[in-house]
Amino acid sequence: MRLDDLLRGLEVQAIIGDLPAEDVRGLVYDSRRAGPGQVFAALAGAASDGHAYLEMAAKQGALAALVQRPAEVALAQIQVPDSRLALAMMADRFYARPSRHLCLVGVTGTNGKTTVSYLVESLLAQRGPAGLLGTVEQRYPGKRRASSMTTPESVDLQALLAEMLGAGVKGVVMEVSSHALEQHRAAGCRFDAAVFTNLTRDHLDYHGDMDAYFQAKRRLFNQLLPQAKRQGKDPAAVICADDPKGSHLAGEATGLHLRTLTYGFSQAARVRGISPVLKLSGGRCLVDWPAGSFEMSTPLVGLYNLQNALAATAVGLALDFEPAEIQRALDAVPGVPGRLQRVVGAPGDPSVFVDYAHTDQALASVLAALRPLTPGRLICVFGAGGDRDQGKRPLMGRAVGIGADLAVLTSDNPRSEDPLAVMAMVEQGLTATGSRLVRDLDTEGPAYVSEPSRAAAIELAVAAAGPQDVVLIAGKGHEDYQIVGRERRHFDDREQALAALGRRHEGEANHAGA
């Protein structure tokens, strides 16, 4: 494809030099990959600025560059107001607009994106091969890759959608993070439906304040859905009515003449869950919506997961699925990797769950879900990630202080920070609830132990738990690594928990063998 074809419809401020007539072989945003035939997009970033690498791209023989500020280099440059947005639109065109030919569902919100995505994937799979991309993995029938980002950069995203389409995929569900919305990574996507789960505190290191964070999420509804509508789709806005920002969004979506379907347990919800019943084997409720009512159930545990199942149900109804098909799809998802994932030991062992809760709201929700299922003590192993929102740390400590009987405060991914400094910030919230620092868990709660080694923290909790106790290991979920400094070491909470459960029986084996 020629460069001038790729630029059609784009807001171009200036063209510096002559546009090369050769075919574009690829679009890149990292100068290290900017070789012959490649258009290099200079992106202004947080750590560095792509404009500093224009010289390098020129030397490597790049075809042209997409810039916000032209530079004195021997390279044709296309000046645009926002190179991330322009790159996204060009990527859509370069990969022959894959989202036009797919049923594409986007999921945003602070918590629940990954979970809802697995449920929607199962739904889409009822009608043909389905694809999923999000925090854990990118997959479609016959192919799977672990993810490095929740929502890939626009070029990688469009390449993946094109790959899925080429492999016969009909429907794709994708998590759309607030970072992605802020950076226009999904700008070239035409959605058939978009879901908003909730908005609570996270990522303020990046967005600055809650309003900016909400404005980023809002783009999916007030920019991307109207764009899909203008281009011939009839997209649905599927919005949680139990969240205050959800009601706001739903009003706005209706005002934009989008098909709007609210869901939740509150009276205002159009797809409304009534009389929820929650058990260790899952949850169920009656779903009432304008066209009738039906029973709905999910093997996933906890009220918030029943709410996630309602989100998927509302997507199904918006896409004209029958309640029986929706139920089949929900039944087919017994669990989501690293989300309330049970680590099964021997009979008589305590129940151990690994979960991805890394915000105060998520911790409060998951502890509330486990409380009624805990005959003994609820023990929570947790920490907060380094180089991420610092303000959420004491709030996370507070949520655990309130929701758990006993806690082991430990390290998450410290990244460039001192793990003890991160833990001290979490500890402020924990102690504010009246939880006291103790040496071991052989005590009455509320109390906590401080143990910077995550492996030792898991060992401590699992060893101390009795058969009636429940251990929640929160924060890292599916992650099979720990980021310490710049190093990414293998570390998996599930493996650690399983080994710790095994060690509870080491003495017994020796005894039996003797």
Ligand X SMILES: Nc1ncnc2c1ncn2[C@@H]1O[C@H](COP(=O)(O)OP(=O)(O)OP(=O)(O)O)[C@@H](O)[C@H]1O
Ligand Y SMILES: CC(=O)N[C@H]1[C@@H](OP(=O)(O)OP(=O)(O)OC[C@H]2O[C@@H](n3ccc(=O)[nH]c3=O)[C@H](O)[C@@H]2O)O[C@H](CO)[C@@H](O)[C@@H]1O[C@H](C)C(=O)N[C@@H](C)C(=O)N[C@H](CCC(=O)O)C(=O)O
CB of 56 to ligand Y, least distance (A): 7
Q: Distance between CA atoms of 142 and 346, rounded to whole angstroms?
A: 34
Q: Distance between CA atoms of 461 and 449, rounded to whole angstroms?
A: 9
For the window 133-172, what string marks contact with ligand API as x by the rule CB under 6 A? -----------------x----------------------
Q: Residue 244 annotated as binding?
A: no
Residue 196 interacts with ligand X (CB under 6 A): yes or no: no
Q: Residue 475 annotated as binding?
A: yes
Extended beta strands in 344-486, E state: 351-355, 378-382, 406-409, 436-437, 447-450, 470-474, 481-484
Q: Distance between CA atoms of 407 and 400, rounded to whole angstroms?
A: 7
Q: Which of residues 38-77 bind ligand Y (CB under 6 A)?
A: 43, 45-50, 53
DSSP state of 323: H
- Sequence-distant contacts of 43-46: CB under 8 A, at least 24 apart: 43/83, 43/84, 43/87, 44/68, 44/83, 46/206
Q: Which of residues 265-304 bind ligand X (CB under 6 A)?
A: 304
What are the φ/ψ torsions at residue 312 (nearest 5 degrees)? -65, -35
Q: Distance between CA atoms of 196 and 221, rounded to whole angstroms?
A: 9
Residue 413 interacts with ligand X (CB under 6 A): yes or no: no
CB of 111 to ligand API, least distance (A): 11
> What six digits make up the tokens of 322?
């029958």
Residue 486 interacts with ligand Y (CB under 6 A): yes or no: no
Nearer to ligand X, 40 or 304 (CB): 304
Residues 188, 154: contact at Cβ < 8 Å? Answer: yes
Residue 385 interacts with ligand API (CB under 6 A): yes or no: yes
CB of 179 to ligand Y, least distance (A): 4
Residues 240, 264: contact at Cβ < 8 Å? Answer: yes
CB of 177 to ligand X, least distance (A): 6
SS3 content of the chain, % helix, strand, coil (to 5): 40, 25, 40
Residue 114 interacts with Mg ion (CB under 5 A): yes or no: yes
Q: Distance between CA atoms of 469 and 378, rounded to whole angstroms?
A: 6
Q: Residue 112 annotated as binding?
A: yes
Q: Distance between CA atoms of 403 and 139, rounded to whole angstroms?
A: 35
Q: Which of residues 205-244 bind ligand Y (CB under 6 A)?
A: 206
Instruction: Out of 24, 29, 88, 240, point to the residue binding ligand Y (CB under 6 A).
Output: 29
Counting residues that bind ligand API (by CB under 6 A) gives: 9
Instruction: Out of 270, 476, 478, 494, point to the residue binding ligand API (CB under 6 A).
Output: 476
* Interface segment toward ligand X; rule CB under 6 A; list 184-192, 358-366, 414-422, 435-443: 358-366
Residues 196, 217: contact at Cβ < 8 Å? Answer: yes
Residue 24 interacts with ligand Y (CB under 6 A): yes or no: no
Q: Which positions make up the binding site?
A: 31, 109-115, 150-151, 177, 183, 185, 388, 412-415, 475, 479
Q: Which chain residues interact with Mg ion by CB under 5 A?
A: 113-114, 135, 175
Q: Which chain residues interact with ligand X by CB under 6 A?
A: 109, 111-115, 135, 150, 175, 197-198, 304, 307-308, 339, 355-357, 361-362, 365-366, 477
Q: Which chain residues interact with ligand Y by CB under 6 A?
A: 29-32, 43, 45-50, 53, 135, 149-151, 153, 177, 179-180, 206
